[in-house]
Copies of this chain bind each other. A is one copy, B any other.
Amino acid sequence: MSKPKVFEKPIGVKDYLPHAVTKLRQIENQVLACMRSWGYEQIMTPTMEYYDTVGVASSTSDQKLFKLLNNRGTTLVLRSDMTAPIARVVSSVLKDVQFPIRLSYHSSVYRAIEEEAGRDAEFFQTGVELVGDASPDADAEVVALAIASLKAAGVKRFKIAIGHVGFLNGLFEAALPGCRDAQEELKAYLLGRDYVGYRERLRSLTISDEMRAELEGILRLRGGQEICNQAMALRLDDMALSSIRHLCEMWDVLEAYGVCEHALIDLTMIGDFQYYTGMTFEAYAADLGFPVASGGRYDNLLKQFGRPAPATGFALKTTRILELIGDADDDAGPARVLIGYDPAGRAVALEKARELREAGGASVTVMTERMDAVSQAAVREAASGGGQVLYKGVAFTKLLTYFGGEREGEQLA
């Protein structure tokens, strides 16, 4: 392969310039503050984890993990999500903390291969985990908090589709007892939202017409709480039945939160994480084809780290939300003051800079520059126009100059 050019960065990763960083930081701070007001405290975990522990427990397929060796020859991975690292922390450093445990994070995560498809190999997620509470109330809490977080992030129009892994597992097992492969194929079609493929596969199965109609019918099971009642009418095993009951009660809780306008039940929903065991959900922003948040219940993950516990959570896809919302407004920034000086004016100029920075707090940015004769001429020229001073491509709201030991001029916007 050809050697990378000096100015190149790897495919699938980004530089965030100041305007994007300003907006990203706003989203990050507002979402974390929202999560905090719901009792979620922020933690940070390492970029690198052991492949054999967190790597294997994560829901990311092996080929999508970035792997490297430490100097002892042990395989490490770059974290591919925050759920498995948090399960490790809850089971180790926090093992004496009683449940429920509420934790939040804002963190970059890494996925190999994705770059091939023009997708990000590194991106930000902002999310929570609620560990130690199996109730529908806990699931509704994370969905309601996802809704509050999306609003805090500035996403205006969105819907959250809620499903249940147990419903589909139970339904397919009742329809195709023991036929794992066929069940997995059907689920793969639903995960890919390939409803044509799903119907075709159904037609090729040797099942009763009635059963086929029922399995096709679930494609229409999208809506409000009435969907739960319709689903109850299907021939369900105990697992599917209790899953529907769980969703029903969750809906009641979401009504108590007053957030049902953003929610819909979608029984074809399958979370794309292997470790989901119950409710799963995805948030879609208006006019966007990809989810801006996803989450679900994972009651079997914690026991892999030695502290069995039910758990539920979600992550905002913060990088995508940033792209959706756009960079910060140029005018929203602080006032910019330029102070030009020469050696004779230096002491007064730098004293003035200190004064302005101390008085201005976050609302003012003061740049100082030692200017030679050429720069002095340029800055005089720039200041002669009135209004904003454009110097070396940057617009300043105020210019102060201290040349020749005297304060020479002051230009106000």
Contact = CB atoms under 8 A, between A and B. Distances in A.
Contacts of A4: 50, 52-53, 74
A185 interface: no
17 contacts: A1-B72, A3-B52, A6-B304, A9-B88, A10-B46, A18-B43, A21-B44, A37-B362, A37-B365, A38-B366, A47-B110, A68-B78, A98-B394, A137-B369, A138-B370, A141-B368, A256-B347
A13 B44 contact: no
A42 B66 CA distance: 27
Interface in A229-278: 252-253, 255-258
A277 to B, nearest CB: 19
Contacts of A50: 4, 8-10
Contacts of A216: none
Given A47-B78, A74-B4, A94-B17, A36 B350 contact: no
A43 B15 contact: yes
Which of A44, A53, A92, A354 has the most C-beta atoms of chain B within 10 angstroms of its own C-beta? A44
A76 interface: yes
A118 interface: no
A160 to B, nearest CB: 17
Interface in A4-24: 4-11, 13-18, 21-22, 24
A6 B38 contact: no
A108 interface: yes
Contacts of A66: 48, 68
Q: Report whether over half of chain A's contact residues are helix, strand or loop; otherwise say mixed.
A: mixed
Contacts of A222: none
> Which 4 residue pairs of A and B lie closest in terms of their CB atoms, listed nearest first?
A13-B46, A39-B367, A18-B41, A7-B92
Given A7-B306, A9-B54, 16 more contacts: A1-B74, A4-B52, A6-B305, A8-B50, A8-B92, A10-B48, A16-B44, A18-B42, A18-B103, A33-B362, A36-B362, A37-B360, A47-B108, A48-B121, A70-B121, A258-B350
Interface string A85-112: 0001101111001111011000010101
Interface string A51-93: 0111000000000001110111110101000000000110111
Tallying the copies of this chain within the complex gives 2
Contact of A93 (B1, B15, B99, B135): B15
A115 interface: yes
A354 B88 CA distance: 31
Contacts of A217: none
Contacts of A223: none
A21 B6 contact: no
A122 B9 contact: no
A39 B365 contact: yes
A359 B94 CA distance: 31
A46 to B, nearest CB: 3
A66 B66 CA distance: 12
Contact of A39 (B38, B115, B336): B336
A252 B113 CA distance: 54
Given A8-B53, A38-B366, A367-B39, A67 B70 contact: no
A93 B17 contact: yes
Contacts of A115: 70-71
A351 interface: yes
Most chain B CB within 10 A, of A7, A98, A362, is at: A7
Contacts of A357: 37-38
A71 B5 contact: no
A355 B361 CA distance: 32
A100 to B, nearest CB: 7
B100 A369 contact: yes
Interface centre among A8, A15, A25 (most CB of B within 10 A): A15
B15 A44 contact: yes
